[in-house]
Amino acid sequence: MRRPAFYSRSPRTPLDDAADAGTPQRPDDSADGASAPAAAAPAAKARWQPGRRSFALLLALSIGSAATSVALWPRQNIRQYTQKDIDAAVLRTLNTATLPSPAAKAAEIIRPSVVRVVGYGPEKKTPEAQTQKHGRNMAKGKPAESQADEPPGEVERGVGTGVVIVDKGIILTNLHVVAGSEKIRVTFADGLEAPAVITGVQPENDLAVLQAQKLPDDLIPAVMRSTADLQPGDQVAAVGFPFGIGPSVSAGVVSGLKRSFRSPEGKQELGNLIQFDAAANPGNSGGPLINMNGEVLGIVTAILNPTQQRTFIGIGFAVPIENAASAAGSPPF
């Protein structure tokens, strides 16, 4: 009976073939080259294979050498940073880098919420209205009495500022900016110009609430901040459109609290006002007075001046935001 052939699990090498060629064939080997009986299998497995053994020895030496190299490799000295190192790095950055001023950062926060407010209607003859008109024309390089920039049949009664307090287009401004206007238009920070209507007034605080008829896609309302902890000396900034130019930013401090102001005509007296020294001029009326976090503390409403020229001499007044927000029917605090 023919015996099954036995195959080594390892491949044969040329040396194995040469060794087989020099070995005499056993008498009981089959003529067709069949392998030896199964009893000869252990001898076949034990046959020396120099190629495999050399490779194994080389592999073992390589692994041992690599392990020795890793063990002897010098460890890197990783520095552990201390709080002193961090403080020194921060101080070096503050001394070498140019950082924006607190007022600049605050103005950037409030800028998307500030709007330009223009009222159209019969021309007012008050000194304030004439001064404001003169300033606007001079800023545009036009004669003092020029009206070439006004729509046919419409006269700018006043230019002021407003601040968005609700993303539905609710805007706070001064009542004297829009009082008596037949049309009101507001211009948002992105340039969108829209008509607006008066939805509420608070004459005792010279405040008006406007509702814009068209809104930007991403209107951002201002954040309001209580004045309960406000103190003289706190930094503030006024943002608005003095003489229609802007938005403009001026910085200063709170000069006093709970001040009173009587209009030059003597027709109205305002109380519980914030006094500040940030520059304000006609056109700033209705704009926000903000802290260094860009939060609205009040609405700029008046400047004190002993003359009829209505130019800034260092004393401005703002209605606290608590009163201003109540004019919109939503006291925030």
The domain segmentation of the chain, as residue ranges, is 114-212, 235-327
Structure tokens that stand for 18 in this block: 């040469």
Report the pLDDT value the prediction gives residue 81, as an integer from 0 to 100.
Answer: 85
CB atoms within 10 A of CB 174: 26
- State how far the Cα of 165 lies from the Cα of 29, in Å rounded to an integer: 106
Mean model confidence pLDDT for the chain: 78
Taking only the tens place, the pLDDT of each residue in 172-193 is 999 999 998 999 999 999 999 9
Report the pLDDT value the prediction gives residue 136, as an integer from 0 to 100.
Answer: 52
Per DSSP, the chain holds a count of helices (H) and strands (E) of 8, 12
Range 248-262 average pLDDT: 95
Report the pLDDT value the prediction gives residue 98, as an integer from 0 to 100.
Answer: 81
Backbone angles phi, psi at 90, to 5 degrees: -65, -45
Report the pLDDT value the prediction gives residue 93, as an integer from 0 to 100.
Answer: 83
Residue 311: pLDDT band (50, 70, 90) is confident
- 235-327 placed in CATH 1.10.4030.10: no
Which option is the CATH number for 114-212: 2.40.10.10, 1.10.10.10, 2.60.120.860, 3.40.50.10790? 2.40.10.10
**DSSP 3-state of 166:** strand
Structure tokens that stand for 326 in this block: 């109540």
Report the pLDDT value the prediction gives residue 235, as an integer from 0 to 100.
Answer: 97
Q: Is the pLDDT of residue 88 over 70?
A: yes
Contacts of 46 (CB under 8 A, 6+ apart): none
Report the pLDDT value the prediction gives residue 304, as an integer from 0 to 100.
Answer: 87
Q: Are 272 and 233 in contact (CB under 8 A)?
A: no
CB atoms within 10 A of CB 295: 17
pTM greater than 0.85 (yes/no)? no
Taking only the tens place, the pLDDT of each residue in 114-159 is 999 999 987 666 555 555 555 555 445 455 455 455 555 568 888 9
Q: Are 108 and 233 in contact (CB under 8 A)?
A: no
Q: Are 249 and 212 in contact (CB under 8 A)?
A: no
CB atoms within 10 A of CB 177: 27
Taking only the tens place, the pLDDT of each residue in 33-78 is 444 444 444 444 445 455 556 666 666 766 766 666 555 555 556 7
- State how far the Cα of 163 lies from the Cα of 148, in Å rounded to an integer: 28
CB atoms within 10 A of CB 38: 10
Residue 223: pLDDT band (50, 70, 90) is very high
Could you list the active site residues? 176, 206, 285
**DSSP 3-state of 243:** helix
Contacts of 125 (CB under 8 A, 6+ apart): none
Would you say the CATH fold of 235-327 matches that of 114-212?
A: yes
Q: Is the pLDDT of residue 225 over 60?
A: yes
Range 93-113 average pLDDT: 90
Report the pLDDT value the prediction gives residue 248, as an integer from 0 to 100.
Answer: 96
Length in residues, the chain: 333
Report the pLDDT value the prediction gives residue 118, as an integer from 0 to 100.
Answer: 95
Range 233-259 average pLDDT: 95
Report the pLDDT value the prediction gives residue 287, as an integer from 0 to 100.
Answer: 97
Contacts of 68 (CB under 8 A, 6+ apart): none
The sign of the dihedral angle between the CA atoms of 172, 174, 175, 179 is: negative
- State how far the Cα of 241 lies from the Cα of 161, in Å rounded to an integer: 6
* Highest mean pLDDT, choosing among 100-114, 263-277, 302-316: 100-114
Report the pLDDT value the prediction gives residue 124, as an integer from 0 to 100.
Answer: 61
Q: Are 231 and 167 in contact (CB under 8 A)?
A: no
Closest CA to 287 of 262, 316, 312, 257: 316
Residue 196: pLDDT band (50, 70, 90) is very high
Range 194-205 average pLDDT: 94
Residue 324: pLDDT band (50, 70, 90) is confident
Question: Pairing state of beta strands 316-320 and 269-276?
Answer: antiparallel
- State how far the Cα of 299 lies from the Cα of 117, in Å rounded to an integer: 14
- Please report which residue ranges of the chain form alpha helices under DSSP H: 14-21, 41-45, 50-72, 83-96, 102-110, 127-139, 175-178, 321-327
Structure tokens that stand for 79 in this block: 């520095």
